[in-house]
Amino acid sequence: MDLWPWLSAALLLLLLLVQLSRSAKFYAKISLYCALCLGVSTVASVICLLRHGGRTVENMRIISWFVRSFKYLYGLRFEVHGLEKLEADQPCVIISNHQSILDMMGLMETLPKRCVQIAKRELLFLGPVGLIMYLGGVFFINRQHSSTAVTVMAEVGDRMVRENLKVWIYPEGTRNSNGDLLPFKKGAFYLAIQAQVPIIPVVYSSFSSFYNPETKLFTSGTIKVEVLDAIPTSGLTVADVPRLMDTCHRDMRSTFFRVSKMPQENGASGGLQALPAQ
């Protein structure tokens, strides 16, 4: 039995659904995104192994090159301001807001040299995606076991200073597309103070004008990215963590509303408050 006519008919039907149905178009684009992640991870893993022989932060440059090409398929543009602030040759903790699975494209668009991420341990088991993350030097944390997470963070603090690494963390702890920032978790701030390295906030504008899973919207669009000034932690102690965390949250939240051109709510205010050295 010749399957070609049936496959052709199925493909034509799929293309028709994508053109007529907003939901079909959304799921088709998401499916393509997942397929790209799997395919690129497989190819990039082979290249990383051939080029560097194993796990190293240098592999992130290879991964970044592949992922940055995704934006052309999806008609996305990035307008990045302050990128030079990430290029200082010193360890630091970079924090940014976390909106959706598309954040990976934004991350790779601004990723500086010698920068790794902290991710939940479950991602390690996503086949080629987990493998390429491992090869890129990503630190995996088991969020269900706080003692293990603390040990990993202590190791990260030692390595980032010893190996001159930048560490990228999403302090909200989970994806959030509600048009605001979630409260921050303390890990990134403990890490920065423990290592006595600066924190650099990075803010991405809201995706809601072109990407919304609830309404099945997924079109082309522009993401504005703003890198804020580095916040020093030299001389700070763990007692300063709540205030440091609140300062970063308020300034990032204010910036998020501004670059997203959204009205600021709940009395959010911008401006960094000085943190005393101790």
What is the pLDDT at residue 267? 46
Whether residue 59 is predicted with pLDDT greater than 90 in this model: the reply is yes
pTM: 0.86
* Paired sense of beta strands 217-218 and 211-212, if any: antiparallel
The vertex-225 CA angle with 219 and 229, nearest 5°, equals: 170
With a pLDDT cut of 70, the percent of the chain lying above it is 85
**Residue 104 identity:** M
- b/e per residue, 119-140, with b = 16+ CB within 10 A? bebeeeeeebbbbbbbbbbbbb
Digit-coded pLDDT (tens) for 3-45: 566 656 666 655 666 565 788 889 888 988 999 999 999 999 9
Pick from 49, 160, 176: which is nearest to 114 by CA? 160
Digit-coded pLDDT (tens) for 199-251: 999 999 999 999 999 999 999 999 999 999 999 999 999 999 999 999 999 99
Other Cβ atoms within 10 Å of 3 Cβ, number: 8
CATH 1.20.1420 fits 21-260, yes or no: no
Q: Give SS3 for 278.
A: coil
List alpha helices for 178-233, DSSP H.
187-195
Pick from 233, 221, 245, 201: which is nearest to 110 by CA? 201
Pick from 121, 111, 122, 119: which is nearest to 59 by CA? 111
List alpha helices for the chain, DSSP H.
4-20, 22-52, 59-67, 70-74, 103-110, 128-135, 146-162, 187-195, 241-260
**Sheet of strand 166-169: strand arrangement:** 76-81, 221-227, 199-204, 92-96, 166-169, 115-120, 139-141
Domain edges within the chain: 21-260
